[in-house]
């Protein structure tokens, strides 16, 4: 119980959970060239289990009732860079922001878990709506979109800290340059980029992690998840939760 009241312990636990799920993905996505037929079948079952329970999709939530994936997907990363960037962002946020550092375990869990669920829901709804628009205009059947990652939950914590300490000065790295900005200025810039990316459905790499992930796969960046998480964090801050 004493450990659970320690914010550093909780943050480290969240990081360990994310690392654990990442290791599960490495087994699920391993090369299958040299496997026997029975081993290949077992791998396919395991791989489908990971996709079913550690990614979130509109079909999974609303058609198959996999509501838990709104949360489990926020601990899930398939790509080492995606994992590394998100966990680094979480640790830096909790270490360097005076507000976030004094967040407390209960509020941290409200923000990370609640922000994760809200951001996952926003992401799948956004993709469902945009996919339906594309389908009606092109008369084609599009594949199921799946989402995963902790960035929406981290956006909730960031937004909460922005509104609790708007004038706190932070060092922001943009395209390799360190820029000093007020918390509220940086938060507004991130929110603006995320909203434009969500509406226009394009990749707008502002930070180094977005630049790298966007170059690998533009659809990797879940702008709707960022927006949903940020709004959730802002609402909790507004109500002083």
pLDDT value of position 141: 46
C-beta of residue 7 within 8 angstroms of C-beta of residue 106: no
pLDDT value of position 206: 63
Tell me the two tokens of residue 28: 């699920």
Q: What is the pLDDT of residues 60-94, one digit of tens each?
A: 999 999 999 999 999 999 989 889 989 998 998 88
**CA dist 85 to 15, 45, 197, 214, 220, Å?**
12, 29, 19, 13, 13
Mean pLDDT of 155-174: 88
Q: What is the pLDDT of residues 44-55, one digit of tens each?
A: 999 999 999 999
d(CA 139, CA 16): 44
pLDDT value of position 169: 87
Q: What is the pLDDT of residues 171-214, one digit of tens each?
A: 877 766 788 989 999 899 889 988 988 888 776 666 655 555 55
The DSSP line for the chain is -TGGG-HHHHHHHHHHHHHHHHHHHHHHTS--TT--HHHHHHHHHHHHHHHHHHSB-HIIIIIS--TTHHHHGGG--SSHHHHHHHHHHHHHHHHH-HHHHT--HHHHHHHHHHHHHHHHHHHHHHHHHHHHHHHHHHT-PPPPP-B--SHHHHHHHHHHHHHHSTT-EEEEEETTEEEEEEHHHHHHHHHHHHHHHHHHT-----SHHHHHHHHH-GGGS-HHHHHHHHHHHHHHHHTT-
pLDDT band, residue 58 (cuts 50/70/90): very high
pLDDT value of position 170: 83
* Virtual torsion, Cα 239, 197, 204, 94, nearest 10 deg: 20
d(CA 170, CA 179): 8
pLDDT more than 70, % of the chain: 83
> What is the pTM for the complete model shown?
0.87
Q: What is the pLDDT of residues 135-159, one digit of tens each?
A: 554 444 445 688 999 999 999 999 9
Residue whose C-alpha is closest to residue 200's, from 130, 147, 120, 109: 130
Query: Average model confidence (pLDDT) for the chain?
Result: 85
pLDDT more than 90, % of the chain: 50
pLDDT value of position 37: 83
């Amino acid at each position: 119980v004493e450990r659970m009241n320690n914010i550093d312990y909780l943050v480290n636990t969240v990081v360990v959970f994310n690392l654990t799920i990442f290791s599960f993905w490495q087994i699920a996505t391993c090369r299958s060239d040299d496997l026997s037929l029975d081993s290949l079948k077992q791998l396919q079952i395991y791989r489908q289990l990971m996709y079913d329970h550690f990614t979130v999709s509109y079909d999974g939530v609303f058609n198959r009732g996999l509501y838990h994936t709104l949360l489990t997907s926020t601990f899930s990363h398939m790509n080492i860079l995606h994992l590394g960037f998100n966990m680094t962002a979480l640790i830096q946020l909790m270490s360097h922001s005076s507000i976030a550092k004094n967040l407390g375990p209960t509020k941290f869990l409200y923000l990370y878990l609640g922000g994760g669920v809200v951001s996952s829901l926003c992401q799948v709804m956004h993709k469902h709506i945009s996919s339906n628009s594309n389908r009606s205009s092109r008369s084609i059947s599009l594949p199921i979109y799946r989402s995963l990652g902790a960035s929406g939950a981290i956006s909730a914590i960031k937004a909460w800290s922005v509104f609790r300490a708007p004038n706190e000065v932070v060092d922001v790295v943009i395209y390799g340059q360190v820029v000093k900005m007020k918390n509220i200025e940086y938060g507004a810039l991130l929110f603006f980029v995320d909203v434009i990316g969500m509406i226009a459905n394009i990749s707008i790499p502002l930070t180094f992690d977005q630049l790298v992930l966007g170059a690998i796969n533009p659809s990797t960046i879940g702008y709707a998840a960022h927006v949903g998480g940020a709004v959730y964090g802002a609402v909790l801050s507004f109500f002083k939760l």
